[in-house]
Structure 1
């Protein structure tokens, strides 16, 4: 027992695997005389096996070759991945510690044949991790009476080697984690975006340079108040955007993911204030904790983009105003000519003349086309003007009472005058269509949808404009027999400047503002707008609702 205790201390004192090798060899040297020792270990985590060969004096190449062949045969007998002598020869590592060399060096190379050998599996908790092999040139060297003690020594060595490999693996993982931590810190510190991380209580635990500058702008030093939730910091501050940021963090702490929410940092009186886009996501703990362990927030500066959008909107507004002036004149003179020709045709009809053969009839049809195209151009100009109004929240509505049936009939007539391939029908399902709304704006909505119905049904067909009653609302729907809208585009068709990108729609002109403006107008009236596929599977149906009487809040 005292001897085993001494042996155990040798292995415990080892700091690396080579010291374990020396402790093992020193112990075996006290029991046996051997020419060489070999330690074969299984690889871990995808690593190849390891073979260490420690000769006590120079050995012949044939002796070493036979050693490797015997090690390969023994390894393939025990629970060890299949290995060939050639693979072992390539992977072998030779070590010759001076303290194990013979006191009197050999003057000649040893024998070429192995006289005796001993193989012992290295096992930890009934799991074989390797093989210990001893070789000698003479026969009958290894005493079988010492076999039980040798197994105990091999078990000590196996435990020491396994612990050493676990420690090396742990150190490698720590080094890898430290490298990743430093790399992540470098990435975060070099980010152009502001980034902050909170714990489960909403207190900031990490932030980069840009985020720190934002808090300095709000006169808050997070380093002076560690562990204080952001909502409490915001409650003590009079900075509005800080409260909005704290609200976003609280949302993420409940498991929500927030994307691209705008946050105005600069003064509201500025032409284009400093504007950030916030995205926040919860940081999960583990499967045993359903609530997030914190939140990560990224704030991206989009001021330049907002500046470009404002300049673009201003440019579009100026150009649209310049277009409206000549357009008003074209519409006015066209209407004047239409009325004159209509009076002349009525006069000639009273005289009994056939109007279909009269030049005035042809001129009137041409003027109807000019009038329809002018209306279409006016809607495009109005859409461009309304774009900036919608963007900056200045879409004003002029409420007046009128009859929806009259407005729809007028829009159907104008649209029919501009197409010969389509049959545009008006289906009125109500008797009283009186409504209080912005007549010009509602006409703009109907005209935009009708334009799309005609444009995206190039083969012609029926276009049905239907007016129905739905409680305190009117429901207007426009159905066509055109190419329809694929499901993957439905989430985007009401976005500004969005046009479906496919081979079927590429041939159709447009700026992608009609439905965007239409939605803004309908929602400003307190209604809703949407899309539905036709039951026949062909064409589209766009619909929108309109309250009969607007609410005072909406009206104001």
Structure 2
């Protein structure tokens, strides 16, 4: 910019010099004053004075020209350089000079447009980043060289990884399941979208994920890499298994008594009723199976009511020790049948609960303990307060439960020993009903067990307000 000013000033001085010379010649022709002067010194002094005046005049004129013409251009140039550096907040002064005001305005319009475009782009990038980080599915993007370029928190959480273990790493260096690595290679090889459900082991647990992979295609069909999206469906698979087991179990539980009733009734109709002893025996079996079928249907209906949305219990201040004693009286006959003793270690505790529902809970827990306990053993029921809660323990000396079976203990129709529970008339729904009723009381139920030594169920209930 300085060279431009220098060239402009030099041009002005040259033209002013030519103009001065012309003026001197004109003065010399029109006013021959110098001939009348006494000596040459006066002539040179007069010429010097004229020259100095001309120089001052040219300097003033040049400064004005530079200020009017060069400074706006210099300001516009500096603004353009700032814009090139990425500073879209820079603005040019809009001078009143007609020759440069349009240029300054155009530069400012360009700067505002670039600033708006940058703001929109930053906002879109922030939205995209927020979306990727907070999406429920795990996402990872791998470039064409196989290096990880993008991932979200869900991916690190899903596969127990840290950010430094993923950033700019080759995907084969990442500690991911072999099934997922094989899927990534499959998408890389085919360069086509693919979707699979993968099953793998993580620690002691079996995991299921629904994974989708697709190539990332840019402009002009340029291939940039692949993107993988994985969604955890472990819980869905577990619920699907429970549903499948429930359908199979309820079909089996209903079919067994119906088959017995149908078979013995057909036998009686074929003429077996003539034999008095056979008639009574068959009728007893039909009656027993009818009771079993009725009990199963009642438990199914009861569980359906409890699981219904909006189910609530009539919680009132209730004496928990009195409820346990009532439940113990109702199952006294079963205790005597198997010669099992019941020990009650009860403290007076007032809970906030529904008396009828809590009696149902205790009867189910006691019947479960009787079912899986041998003759001559003992069942102990304890009641006490701890940490502001009412704690009830039902301990037996039965067959116990393996640790692998504990997570499924409260599922519908799940039995530790199917043959024993069926022979004694169990439906497999008692513990599931217990769990739902305790949760409806805003409490919780826990179980600890050791195979061959027995099982202890512990329920926690809120104290009466």
Report the TM-score when normalising by structure 2: 0.40
Please state which structure has a larger fraction of its residues in helix.
Answer: 2
Larger radius of gyration: 2
Report the TM-score when normalising by structure 1: 0.34
Higher relative contact order (CA 8 A, sep 6+): 2
